[in-house]
Structure 1
């Protein structure tokens, strides 16, 4: 089996770029992409070999080469495809991170086994705290789907730090608190990931900050203080109340009742 059995195909993008191809040309193009994926990202610029990869006679291949070649970069005697190269890089990064996580998991399991053996040798066997914590962590472990989405986002612009293969509990905590994976989390991971950032805590902090900024409600400005004493003085002296609403002692007047009572007296 190939080391890379799964190749990502963005169907909408593919169909949008290839509507002009015939059925036979579609087949040749896809076969070249698949062979290139298994070959590690490139094929030799050799018509005889390319025709075999496309399952075409050399004559048919040469007749359609001009229609297929624009989808590839031909340089230095090799054919490559930009999109396939990026997907291959992401796949390789993801595989390395999983391998690193597996090695850490194997060491942790061996340590746990040794501790359990030591505990079983005592007169009164009991569950070790480490064992209980390990079981609880296993029950809360996120799905492989979530892990893949996070690593794909972290490596979308290049290799990410290998420590990201470790536990993603801080991200699952955010999801449990109501943060949305596609709206709140993945865009930040994709934007902020760098080869020197190896902690999910960094991303969690930025995710919380951005979400708070998005939903922040501006403080309501305080209502201006009204000098009712000055207004009532003007009313006593001139008998005019202006645009301040109903005058004192009239229904709906906004002046404090105790002040209105002094005028009425």
Structure 2
């Protein structure tokens, strides 16, 4: 898949999706998106290369990278960094280009009409009837393809989600829906929440978030639905290092996920991972910000 010299940008979605994000992380995210589109959806995960383009140190980029991955703004795919919407937009463009090439390769409408043969004769009636009977018999004996009667829960969600005055790509929403179900969110809770949410947006509105944003930010928990059970998290050193890296960049501590801030007697972070100034002037947030 080739890179793009330009691409569609959605300013409102970018601003809404980065609310609460520190300035330097937000600016780096904008440049990373440009690089992902330029690289055809797969940006080499090379710390030296990316930090050089951003004009920052490798250490700084490593911290920003961890924050963007933790916020699910970029994803690691093998040796590359990618973004769900970028992949979707590039695939859509590739299909459109393939369709245009296919249409351009076809001959004009009347050029492929066969010319009548001068010695054309009709088949004999007996032979025609035998051939027709044989075709009908073969069609009757051909087994029908089995059809799946199992409905996809996402189709019901997509039909219930309110119409939006603006882009609302379906493929990233399907990925977000599947991720929510995979981590233990009941489908019934999502459906109850989206029905309640749709009543607030009876008409298309630009203030209605994209379905992908609504799912990724767990907004179904705001609609009176039963809160989804949180998956069991292994609080090992890797887990706490990610939390500390995010907090050192944003100076925000998510109490809902990590407990009390470093420096508090009830802090759950292992002491050997803490640095001397960890927790100083950090804001305790009791609800995560996307």
TM-score computed with the length of structure 2 as normaliser: 0.34
Q: Which has the greater radius of gyration?
A: 1
TM-score computed with the length of structure 1 as normaliser: 0.37
